[in-house]
């Protein structure tokens, strides 16, 4: 009972990547036991996800649940109380041993009062006088849960219920570990066999955990979406990578090639924050980028000082420091005049100052304990940090040597570091043909030793015109050598393309896109080529076509039960959950600000003329149409098209928007209709809602 309640509480607790999950079919048959009789909740076929901040879900059809469990009273809103209700039925099943279809003098099982439940309890199971008080409390909880859905008892709190169950268990184990070497979360992968498992040994509640939960690397890596809670200590287990990590990324100054330094830094940020290939998955809020601002003359030194103050204010334990640029002034022979980082026109940041800031941070914030640094510059100096502050520092060359960069491509060293972080997931592809570098990346993590061998592989093969990489370390342990997660398999997304009754399949690799819009452009090109027969079109037309594409997953058994993927995080969560990714034209009635819809019409060359005529005859001088304008416009288009009748599909699209789009979406918004000529006599009708109140009127795309 305690374990089921914990599972429901976990589903109902959303985070920044997912909302509250309503199971909607909690029943005894959806509770399975492992070899040690630990309970797990399964079958999420009817589950629904609430949007961020929502506590209710509006129904467009009656919910389908299991008879005997789901409330018979009709509800237009789904809430957490529906899961509470079903849980209450399961509790009385456990107490009585009866089926949920049972009745007593015509009273349904779900509606039994507490005294009746206790009178019907299984004497062979609950006959110990020492547990009478617990049985009484379980019956009380069962009644409270089943009543909550009808009486709207939103004050019911699963956390307090789990606490009551925990108290009933007294000193008994909350979870009995199963035998074997499998992860206790997914039950598929082998658990991590390392000395670190995410428990924070500096916290008494976690350090004293008697039986730590076994997790695999995949579940640990994805814990930024679904946090891991230890079944023994009840604490949230933070991953060894990315939890409390921060980064300061610094681009150097150069009058001719400064943009290459900025590109290096921006690319580094993309990789370490990526949730598509989560090598580190450092929070964007914990990363500060400083680049030379030559236009406004902003002092880069001041920006660095501010960055350190912001990072110090966070609860950061590990800092990733990356610098791509030049060292301070030196003559043609390479003799240094100033041991500084060149960060702006006539502006240098001394390494001594950097050392001081890091050491002061450690003295003021003892939890700050490690620096991972990448200095991609000539004549790199090792940082001088005070023990016990730990250090891992990569340099592309020795402190007495220059380093070469690719013209118009930036630093080869940083490129290889980033390639290593994503190599296995990208299929082991290297920028150098027939390179065997991926053989050094194995296991669940990329360690210091792995990265070191990976870089040296390229140097030994003579692929790079660069010196031998150098490494500086201080006070590190085995756990500290773990730098990034490593996928043991190639990551690729397979989409089911459904368009004009044609079914296609397209596989896309993460290396092919960085933003969701770039992914939609790839899918748009695929649809245009294989459905419409359009091989060549402008980037602008592709972007407008991509606007109307919806990447979706099914969330229920009906066609209406779909969720549109709007972020890369949602895409990765769907892929991790093995959901079928569907690509189709956005449903017409789902039009909204920022969500255009459209259709491709064949042989409608006169549609623009007819459109302008309809606007003119309706006295509509503004091309942005209100709901009432749209109704009049639609009627005029039908009248003008009566003789030819070739705009039936266009009229159907207008009808779907008029009759099925929520009224609230037209409040303060207007409809903009644009016609775009495509090859092969196709015309793309692009329709978007435009905000016209409170902001400058622009079409949202």
For tokens 């009644």, the residue is 143
- Contact in structure between 420 and 441 (CB atoms under 8 Å): yes
The tokens describing 578, both together, are 């093995």
| Separation CA 676–CA 596 (nearest Å) | 14
pLDDT in tens, 474-484: 999 888 899 99
From residue 512, give the alpha-carbon distance in Å to each of 103, 493, 519.
60, 11, 8
**Which residues have CB under 8 Å from 2's CB, separation 6+?**
162, 165, 166, 168, 169, 174
| Separation CA 219–CA 185 (nearest Å) | 7
**Which residues have CB under 8 Å from 121's CB, separation 6+?**
95, 96, 135, 139
- Burial level of 106, CB count in 10 A (0-12/13-18/19+)? exposed
pLDDT in tens, 92-139: 999 999 998 899 998 989 889 999 999 999 988 888 877 888 899 999
Cα angle, residue 569 at apex, residues 547 and 277 outer, rounded to 5° = 110
pLDDT in tens, 257-290: 888 899 999 999 999 988 778 888 888 899 999 9
From residue 644, give the alpha-carbon distance in Å to each of 606, 638, 656.
11, 10, 22
Residues constituting the chain:
701
The tokens describing 672, both together, are 């903009």
For tokens 């989560």, the residue is 278
Where is average pLDDT lowest: 168-182, 391-405, 439-453, 482-496? 168-182
Report whether the peptide linkage leading into residue 134 is cis, meaning its omega lies within 30 degrees of zero: no
pLDDT in tens, 219-249: 888 887 778 888 878 788 888 887 789 999 9
The tokens describing 365, both together, are 């914030």
| Separation CA 549–CA 283 (nearest Å) | 29
pLDDT of residue 467: 64
pLDDT of residue 478: 85
| Separation CA 491–CA 473 (nearest Å) | 32
Cα of first residue to Cα of last residue in the chain, in angstroms, is 49
pLDDT in tens, 154-177: 657 778 888 888 888 766 777 777
As a whole number, the mean pLDDT across the chain is 84
What 3-state class would DSSP assign to 61?
A: coil
pLDDT of residue 277: 80
**Which residues have CB under 8 Å from 545's CB, separation 6+?**
524, 527, 528, 537, 598, 684
pLDDT in tens, 555-599: 666 666 788 999 887 888 788 778 899 999 999 999 999 999 999
- Contact in structure between 349 and 304 (CB atoms under 8 Å): yes
Mean pLDDT over 436-451 rounds to 90
| Separation CA 401–CA 617 (nearest Å) | 77
What 3-state class would DSSP assign to 356?
A: helix
Give, for 649, the enclosing helix (H) or strand (E). Answer: helix 648-660
| Separation CA 251–CA 264 (nearest Å) | 8
> Would you place residue 297 in the very low, low, confident or very high pLDDT band (cuts 50, 70, 90)?
low
| Separation CA 688–CA 625 (nearest Å) | 11
Count CB neighbours of 530 within 10 A: 15
Closest CA to 110 of 118, 122, 119, 102: 102
| Separation CA 637–CA 619 (nearest Å) | 13
Mean pLDDT over 664-678 rounds to 92
Give the DSSP letter string of 116-177.
Answer: HHHHTS-TTTS--GGGHHHHHHHHHHHHHHHHHHHHT-TT--HHHHHHHHHHHHTTS-S-PP
Helices (H), 152-291: 158-169, 204-207, 217-221, 258-273
- The residue with greater pLDDT, 503 or 163, is 503
Q: Is the dihedral of CA 437, 439, 443, 448 positive or negative?
A: negative
Structure letter (DSSP) for residue 408: T
pLDDT of residue 182: 86
Mean pLDDT over 657-679 rounds to 92
């Amino acid at each position: 009972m305690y374990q089921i309640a914990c599972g429901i509480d976990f589903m109902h607790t959303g985070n920044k990547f997912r909302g509250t999950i309503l199971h909607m079919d909690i029943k005894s048959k959806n509770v399975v036991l492992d070899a040690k009789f630990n309970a797990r909740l399964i079958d999420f076929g009817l589950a629904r996800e609430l949007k961020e901040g929502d506590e209710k879900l509006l129904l467009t059809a009656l919910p389908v649940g299991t008879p005997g469990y789901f409330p018979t009273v009709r509800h237009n809103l789904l809430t957490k109380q529906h899961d509470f209700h079903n849980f209450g039925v399961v509790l009385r099943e456990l107490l009585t041993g009866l089926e949920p279809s049972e009745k007593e003098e015509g009273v349904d099982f779900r509606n039994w009062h507490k005294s009746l439940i206790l009178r019907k309890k299984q004497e062979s199971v609950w006959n110990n006088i020492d547990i009478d008080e617990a049985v009484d409390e379980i019956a009380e909880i069962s009644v409270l849960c089943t009543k909550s859905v009808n009486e709207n008892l939103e004050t019911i709190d699963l956390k307090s219920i789990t606490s009551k169950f925990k108290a009933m268990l007294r000193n008994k184990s909350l979870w009995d570990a199963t035998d074997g070497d499998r992860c206790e979360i997914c039950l598929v992968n082998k658990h991590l066999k390392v000395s670190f498992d995410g428990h924070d040994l500096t916290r008494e509640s976690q350090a004293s955990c008697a039986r730590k939960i076994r997790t695999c690397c995949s579940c640990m890596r994805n814990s930024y979406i679904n946090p891991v809670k230890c079944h023994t200590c009840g604490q949230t287990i933070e991953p060894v990578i990315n939890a409390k990590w921060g980064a300061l990324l610094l681009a150097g100054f150069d009058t001719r090639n400064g943009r290459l330094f900025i590109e290096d830094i921006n690319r580094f940020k993309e990789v370490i924050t990526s949730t598509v290939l989560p090598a580190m998955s450092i929070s964007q809020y914990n990363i500060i980028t400083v680049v030379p601002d030559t236009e406004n003359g902003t002092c880069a030194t001041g920006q660095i000082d501010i960055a350190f103050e912001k990072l110090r204010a966070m609860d950061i334990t590990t800092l990733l420091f990356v610098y791509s640029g030049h060292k301070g002034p030196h003559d043609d022979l390479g003799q240094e005049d100033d041991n500084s980082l060149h960060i702006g026109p006539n502006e240098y940041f001394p390494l001594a100052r950097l050392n001081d800031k890091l050491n002061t941070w450690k003295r003021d914030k003892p939890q700050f304990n490690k620096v991972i640094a990448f200095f991609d510059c000539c004549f790199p100096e090792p940082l001088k940090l005070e023990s016990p502050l730990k250090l891992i520092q990569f340099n592309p060359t020795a402190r007495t040597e220059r380093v070469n960069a690719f013209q118009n491509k930036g630093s080869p060293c940083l490129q290889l570091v980033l390639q290593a972080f994503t190599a296995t997931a990208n299929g082991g592809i290297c920028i150098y043909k027939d390179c065997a570098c991926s053989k050094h990346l194995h296991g669940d993590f990329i360690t210091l030793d792995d990265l070191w061998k990976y870089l040296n592989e390229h140097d030994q093969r003579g692929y790079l015109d660069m010196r031998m990489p150098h490494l500086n370390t201080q006070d590190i342990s085995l756990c500290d050598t773990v730098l990034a997660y490593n996928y043991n398999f190639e990551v690729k997304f397979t989409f089911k393309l459904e368009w004009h009754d044609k079914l296609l399949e397209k596989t896309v690799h993460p290396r092919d896109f960085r933003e969701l819009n770039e992914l939609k452009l790839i899918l748009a090109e695929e649809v245009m080529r294989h459905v419409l027969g359009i091989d060549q079109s402008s980037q602008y037309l592709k972007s407008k076509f991509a606007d109307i594409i919806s990447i979706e997953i099914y969330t229920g058994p009906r066609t209406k039960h779909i969720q549109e993927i709007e972020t890369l995080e949602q895409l990765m969560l769907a892929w991790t959950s093995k959901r079928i990714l569907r690509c189709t034209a956005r449903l017409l009635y789902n039009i909204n600000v920022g969500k255009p819809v459209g259709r491709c019409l064949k042989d409608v060359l006169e549609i623009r003329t007819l459109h302008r005529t309809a606007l003119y005859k309706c006295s509509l001088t503004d091309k942005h149409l209100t709901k009432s304008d749209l109704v009049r416009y639609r009627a005029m288009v039908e009248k003008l098209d009566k003789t030819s009748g070739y705009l039936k599909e266009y009229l159907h699209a207008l009808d779907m928007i008029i009759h099925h789009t929520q009224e609230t979406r037209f409040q303060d918004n207007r409809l903009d209709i644009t016609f775009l000529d495509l090859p092969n006599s196709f015309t793309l009708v692009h329709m978007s809602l435009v905000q016209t109140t409170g902001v400058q009127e622009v079409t949202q795309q």
